[in-house]
Amino acid sequence: MKILCINLLRLGDVVMSTAVVDGLQKRYPKAQIDFLLNKQFSSLTPLLPHIRRFLFFDRDRFQSLMANVATPLTQPFFELQEFVGQINSEKYDLVINLTQNLFSARLMDLLECSNKLGFNYQNGKAEFGSNWFRRLNANDSDKEFHYIDFLLGGSEVSDQRPEISLVETTHGQHEAKKITDGRPVIAVQPLTSDRKKNWGIGNYRKLISLLSLKLPRYHFVILGSPSEEQFLEDLSAANVTIAICDLETAFSILCRADLVVTGDTSIKHMAAASGTKIFEICLGSSEYRFTGAYNEGALIVKSRVKCAPCAHGKDCHQPTQLCAEMMEPDFMAILAAAYLSDDMETLQKCARNSSLEILRVKFSPSGLWRAMPVDSVKSSPQERALHGLQ
């Protein structure tokens, strides 16, 4: 059996969709599974050795061809035709679209496969192949399930209890060993792709200073990309290493860390694959119910401001970033230290006396992700809504 998974979204979405690959491998252990993704994320592929073959869509090239007046209009058409022909030559038995956008739906329409799941067009009509994918594409902002649970249900593998699946590389292990140097580590990812999701370098600097007093044996590793390096320099300290590294090294650092402090980033989703404790700072347009850390026991801290989550791609409309201001570094340090030491009594006490939401990730008996208040034992809305999609 040959299966193609398509995800033409951002890096974090691609990482989350590896849970579908894990589920497919468990359901069809002899299947050959290929993955189509944007070429700009090819650096992730060494962490996915269980994929037989990767196909890359060069989105930047196609956009450049379409925008260049010197390029014949037929050239991008013929290149896309050739690309689709290469995919069809594989004669896939099952194609799953994990992308949920119009381009991917049109691409699905061009693929020659009798068994398709996910958003696609057939004779000009939108088809989904599953109520899960149909609900994921609904035009409302209140998603009652986690993004990964939608993908697993739509791909018909939720019963396999799959997980985000990445594998360390020799290169990543070697580089991470040099950076961590055998020390106990707390990894920190201060920056996100949306400034509304950022807590602020100053707040992270105070948090690290306070945690250094509470947890003096720990070394802090700050993760970042080359474009972020200049913004991270203010976090330099004797017990801090700023690691500007590739994804392989970043993942191996996460695997060696005892705690990861992060906003809503692809690093957060990679940390879920490492099994490391995740302390998620949920700000701005972050929607924890939809894309929260997919890791049993992860801690999510969120402000209760009425304007959150705000719209993606738009500036904060408040005079100041209220959601970030509610998270005082002193209080966040208490939470992080208590979480690292499994001090549930302190976490619950903080939850009862705080204006913040403090949530713990748990998986229901049926395998659904849910984030519950640390002192709550109530059933989740995900469980109550499940029957509507089955």
- Among candidates 292, 291, 320, which has minimal Cα distance to 307? 320
Stronger pLDDT, 298 or 388, i.e. the higher one: 298
- Among candidates 79, 57, 52, 83, which has minimal Cα distance to 68? 79
pLDDT at 150 over 60: yes
Predicted confidence (pLDDT) per residue in 347-360, tens digit: 999 999 999 999 99
What distance in Å separates the CA atoms of residue 240 and residue 220, rounded to the nearest whole number?
5
Q: What structural domains and CATH numbers belong to the chain?
A: 2-160 (3.40.50.2000), 170-389 (3.40.50.2000)
Q: Tally Cβ neighbours within 10 Å of residue 288.
A: 21
pLDDT, residue 315, reads 83
Instruction: Band the pLDDT of 379: cuts 50, 70, 90.
Output: very low
Query: Whats the size of the chain, residue-wise?
Result: 390
pLDDT, residue 311, reads 83
Q: Tally Cβ neighbours within 10 Å of residue 206.
A: 16
pLDDT, residue 100, reads 84
Q: Tally Cβ neighbours within 10 Å of residue 381.
A: 12
Predicted confidence (pLDDT) per residue in 89-120, tens digit: 999 999 999 998 889 999 999 999 999 999 99
Instruction: Band the pLDDT of 381: cuts 50, 70, 90.
Output: low
DSSP SS3 for 31: coil
Low-confidence winner among 122-131, 159-168, 186-195, 249-258 (lowest mean pLDDT): 122-131
Q: Which are the contacts of 276, defined by CB distance < 8 A and separation ≥ 6? A: 187, 254, 255, 257, 258, 259, 260
What distance in Å separates the CA atoms of residue 182 and residue 342, rounded to the nearest whole number?
23
pLDDT at 299 over 90: yes
pLDDT, residue 314, reads 82
pLDDT, residue 375, reads 82
Strands 94-97 and 125-127: unpaired
- CA-atom Rg of the chain in angstroms: 22
What distance in Å separates the CA atoms of residue 335 and residue 317, rounded to the nearest whole number?
29
For the residues 265-294, what does the mean pLDDT come to? 96
pLDDT at 182 over 50: yes
Give, in degrees to the nearest 5, the angle at Cα 88 between 85 and 91: 155
What is the percentage of the chain residues whose pLDDT exceeds 70? 95
Joined together, the tokens standing for residue 207 give: 């948090």
pLDDT, residue 377, reads 45
pLDDT, residue 322, reads 92
What distance in Å separates the CA atoms of residue 163 and residue 269, rounded to the nearest whole number?
11
Joined together, the tokens standing for residue 48 give: 């996915």
The answer to whether 349 and 326 have CB atoms below 8 angstroms apart is no
pLDDT at 386 over 80: no
DSSP SS3 for 333: helix
pTM: 0.93
Q: What string of H, E and C letters represents the secondary structure of 230-251?
A: HHHHHHCECCEEEEECCHHHHH
pLDDT, residue 279, reads 98
What is the percentage of the chain residues whose pLDDT exceeds 90? 79
Which amino acid makes up residue 320?
A: T
For the residues 183-193, what does the mean pLDDT come to? 97
pLDDT, residue 388, reads 53
- What is the residue-averaged pLDDT of the chain? 93
pLDDT, residue 318, reads 87
pLDDT, residue 140, reads 59
